[in-house]
Chain A
Amino acid sequence: MTVRASKSELTLGPVLFNWQPERWRDFYFRIADEAPVETVYLGEVVCFKRAPLFDDYREEVAARLKSVGKTIVRSTLAEVMSKQERQMIDEVCAGPDMVEANDGSALLRLRGRPHHAGPFINVYNERTLAVLAANGVRNACLPPEMPASAIRTLAPEAAKLGVTLEVQVFGRIGLALSARCYHARAHGRTKDTCQFICNVDPDGMTLRTLEGKPFLTVNGIQTMSQDYLNLAGELADLQDMGVARYRLSPHSCDMVAVATIFRDALDRRIDATEATARLAAFDLDAPFSDGFYRGKRGHSWSHAVTSRSAN
């Protein structure tokens, strides 16, 4: 498939869940062959224990993606404390590919060469961005709670600094990190004795309230939204602000189809209503949200069209 040249780039964020390694590999092979995304972020962001599971396939996947012209960016761990975690940061940062930093350790290691600031780096304002730009940051994926008003103010300042902005537009939203693994806790284990139990939930484990209402999603040490962020309706607005990159966060649904919908919407081949109607046709098992972008409660959704199985 030919990637359509456009000012607005579609990117695929790192897989945040613990998929079976073969499934993970095949997912990326299909992305390489079929998905209209320009940049693919690759690497374990949530848990250092998972990283070795993908060692057999990581470079094969990277080579395949590069061979079809995709740009590879290596994502680093979001939470770094232990020796193993610090070593992972050193290894990823020592590689030849562009790296997206997700914590301060990686920012130290990458200082002085071009790199990306990931969504786990708190870039809320122009002065923070200026500090990072002086260190070599060329692209910043903004924290998911950033409201449109702040993005609109930040975008022209980013342009002056030579930094492109990236915004997540699809997928569950990372809401919190912890030193404790909540997947292990749910199964009566600890992080050290987890036996990789997070691999039973390809889109995370749903937490319900005592009333039975779906609320949050557990993904190892990460807590995510229950709903799927969907900014298909805001793409024109974001393009108008000057946002250059649009991130899809991978799920077990058909991500090639998701990418195609967003590509069509970015290129104005379909409108927002059509895009959301097509996304709603997936069996996502959760509603959409766009509240953070609108400066409202993060879980809220402004459109009438909701995911089929939301109710």
Chain B
Amino acid sequence: MSDALQLTRPELVCPAGTPASLRTAVDAGADAVYCGLQNETNARNFPGLNFTAAEVEQSLAYAHARNAKVLLAVNTFPPAGKFQMWRDAVDAAARMKVDAVIVADMGVADYAARTYPDLRLHLSVQAGASSPEAIRFYCGQFGIKRVVLPRMLTVAEISELHSQIPCEIEAFIFGNIGMMAEGRCYLSNYVTGQSTNMDGVCSPAADVHYEEDAARNLTTRLGDYVIDRFAGGESAGYPTICKGRYLCGARNDPYYAFEEPVSLNLSALLPDLMRAGVTALKIEGRQRSRAYVKSVVGAFRKAVDDIMAGREAAFASLLALTEGRRETEGAFPSKRWR
């Protein structure tokens, strides 16, 4: 097929919350794996997750021996007085020669670019750069080589964007779909006192409460606020503010004011994304299990290879792995989502 010839082989970028997950992702066919250190310097700062510097180093050896890359996310925003921790993370990344550092804060990007001119920088989705001009600002300022796009653009918009920016594009294709513009959401801090931007935390487990009544209805709470309620037997989602059910004057019944608890699945749009000029396809889920990583990475590895070979990409159902077992193509197919 002529289609197959025109496409550039995209990089499959996969999540790793632990060294074991990283090895699983590499074995399942990841071209690159992204991970974070065990502190506030990355946006998945959860207990029991992430890597020590020594583990990153061992993981690099494992991945490089199998022709895969390791990207380190240093993608939160250091508040004044705490910059040293982020500086240390960048220093460690440079010393270990990770394949790229994923940055969001301008100060962190500036430190990395000036101190280690050869260190490859990717712009995190947390930087919220959603227009050609914003992306060009970061590229010009810090020599960014790749931008991770917010999950708010349509495929057509991504295609147009591609010709207007001097860097590669990485786009999310599967996993949790955050409804709020990344890097600009204080909802978690508003309710729990833990900041997504400064602490790398969203909906911390310590503030999550499940309450079951006599009729076995389950109420989920975050801090002082009810996020959702489920009838007996209904599968209950983790209480995330932007996936909750609320009341408002314009409606009679409770409704998902922001989004229903669905996951992003762009498997059907993969060829379109590749034609749009997307260099790297990103799977979300550093907090997910090894079994999840294995299934999802394996399925997308096969799909990308099939498309590159001009074959129809057949997906084993990924639906069982999606949040609430429901999936969406989100903003990507059309503007009607907005």
A→B interface (CB under 8 Å): 78-82, 85-86, 89, 103-105, 107-109, 111, 120, 122, 124-132, 143-147, 149-151, 153-154, 157, 173, 175-182, 185-187, 190-192, 205-213, 215-216, 218, 223, 225, 291-292, 295-299
Contacts and interface: CB of A to CB of B under 8 A. Distances in A.
A120 B336 contact: no
Contacts of A179: 150, 152, 181, 331, 337-338
Given A131-B107, A190-B338, A122 B189 contact: no
A180 B257 contact: no
Interface stretch (B48-56, B61-69, B245-253, B317-325): B245-253
Interface stretch (B27-35, B76-84, B270-278, B283-291): B76-84
A156 to B, nearest CB: 10
B74 to A, nearest CB: 13
Given A78-B184, A150-B82, A299-B224, 15 more contacts: A82-B157, A86-B131, A103-B130, A105-B137, A124-B77, A125-B82, A125-B107, A127-B111, A149-B79, A176-B180, A176-B185, A187-B250, A210-B219, A210-B254, A291-B190
Interface string B260-283: 000000000000000000000000
Interface stretch (B4-12, B166-174, B192-200): B192-200
Nearest to A185: B257
Given A104-B138, A128-B107, A182-B257, A81 B81 contact: no
Interface in B62-105: 77-83, 104-105
A103 B131 CA distance: 9
Contacts of B219: 210
A297 B111 contact: no
B107 A175 contact: no
Contacts, number: 228
Given A127-B111, A192-B335, A206-B248, A298 B83 contact: no
A197 to B, nearest CB: 8
B106 interface: yes
A298 B197 contact: no
Contacts of A212: 247
A298 B77 contact: no
Nearest to B79: A150
Contacts of B58: none
B133 A108 contact: yes
Q: Most chain-A Cβ atoms within 10 A of its Cβ — which of B106, B141, B246?
A: B106
Contacts of A213: 225-226
10 shortest A-B CB distances, which residue pairs?
A104-B134, A127-B107, A179-B152, A298-B190, A105-B133, A128-B107, A150-B79, A154-B80, A153-B81, A108-B137
A85 B131 contact: yes
B133 A89 contact: yes
A175 B254 CA distance: 22
Contacts of A79: 130, 181
19 contacts: A80-B133, A109-B133, A111-B137, A124-B107, A124-B197, A127-B111, A132-B106, A147-B79, A173-B186, A186-B251, A192-B335, A205-B248, A207-B257, A208-B248, A215-B225, A223-B187, A297-B192, A297-B223, A298-B186
A130 B83 CA distance: 13
Given A144-B186, A292-B189, A297-B193, A177 B180 contact: yes
B134 A207 contact: no
